[in-house]
Structure 1
Amino acid sequence: MSTNDDEEKLISQLKGNTLRVYWAILGSKNETMGVREIQRKLNFSSPALASYHLARLEEMGLVVKESGDYKVAREIKVGIFTEFVKLGTFRLPRFIMYSTFFTGLLIFFLIQFKEVNLSSVYAVIAMAFATLILWYETLRVWQQKP
């Protein structure tokens, strides 16, 4: 079986509440969580539901059980995970870096804007357009997070 087949299998299995559980463990401070912790954090109706999804993640080889808590065994970069970068325990859309750069560049250009001519107007329009597109993409990806 090739790696593409493995990735497609993971993507097909890693969705819904199973994806939310995996995301919660990845986002925890020490990357370990217990069943009840996950139940409370994700507002599951019972610990059995959290346990079921943890068992699925364990079968996929994504988490391991250590002394009652579950820990990330391996991080994957497939599906929605390719759209995020990790900064500590936070996962941010990768477009946020470009969005903030272009926003800063636009603000700097507007502050330094002294002479109104055709090329400076085009530059402001192009930067404003790029900034809007990048912030739109950033927010779109953020809304897709589990």
Structure 2
Amino acid sequence: MSEGKTELSGTTLRVYIYMLKASKPVGVREVQRAMGFKSPSTALYHITKLLDQGLVVKDEDGYRAIGSSSVSSLLMFKRIGRVLVPRFLFYAVFFTSATAMFTALSLIYEGLRGFPWIFALAMCLITSAIMWIETFRLWRRGVT
């Protein structure tokens, strides 16, 4: 596999994502059916492209995707099991939790009032909102 990032696009990227999400090695005909190709040779062509780039390996059960860290189209996504989630999701959850904890602490300890508190809360809310907006944008746009 090359040192740089691999650029995948279009149908080859869709085939790769399908193989990443598959829980087991897949065959050419399985890829053909899942992608809606008219012939197995089209599926084999895209699988061969992935093999040549070192993103897929062939074993006795079929073809298996081996990782997504070198695919530039997937840099903003993290694979959790069979699901690809935007990396911003982790930041969004963190900042939302921090905002909730900050608000709870300020309600418990009444000394945390005034301009510094309002400014800090506003920064937490704005950061949290930006992270959630970026997460939904990436999720809606998808990987392609």
Classify the TM-score, shorter chain: 0.7 to 0.9
| CA distance in structure 1 between the partners assigned to 2:17 and 2:61 by the alignment | 19
Q: Give RMSD over aligned pairs.
A: 2.4
The one-letter code matched in structure 2 to 1:19 is L
- Residue 85 of structure 1: which of 64, 78, 90 is its match? 78
**1:61 aligned counterpart, secondary structure:** coil
**Equivalent position of 1:145 in the other structure:** 143
Whose RCO is larger (CA < 8 A, sep 6+)?
2
Asked if the contact 1:61/1:74 (under 8 Å) is kept, the reply is: no
The answer on 1:119 being equivalent to 2:113 is no
Aligned residues: 138
Q: d(CA) in 2 for partners of 1:105 and 1:43?
A: 45
The residue number in structure 2 matching 1:132 is 129
> Gaps (5+ residues) in structure 1?
none
State, as a whole percentage, how many aligned pairs show the same letter.
34
Q: How far 1:46 moved relative to its partner?
A: 4.1
Which structure: greater helix fraction?
A: 1
Give the conservation status (yes or no) of the 8 Å contact 2:68–2:74.
no
Question: Partners in 2 of 1:74 and 1:104 — Cα distance?
Answer: 30
Distance in 1, Cα, partners of 2:88 & 2:35:
26
Q: Is the 8 A contact 1:58 1:64 kept in 2?
A: yes
Among 7, 19, 22, which residue is 2:16 paired with?
22
**Which region of structure 1 is more displaced relative to structure 2, 35-44 or 79-88?**
35-44
What's the TM-score, normalizing by structure 1?
A: 0.77
Unaligned runs of 5+ in 2: none
The aligned residue for residue 97 of structure 2 is 104
- The aligned counterpart of 1:3 is 3
Match of 1:50 in 2: 43
How does the TM-score come out when normalised to structure 2? 0.78
Greater shift in the superposed pair: 98-107 or 38-47: 38-47
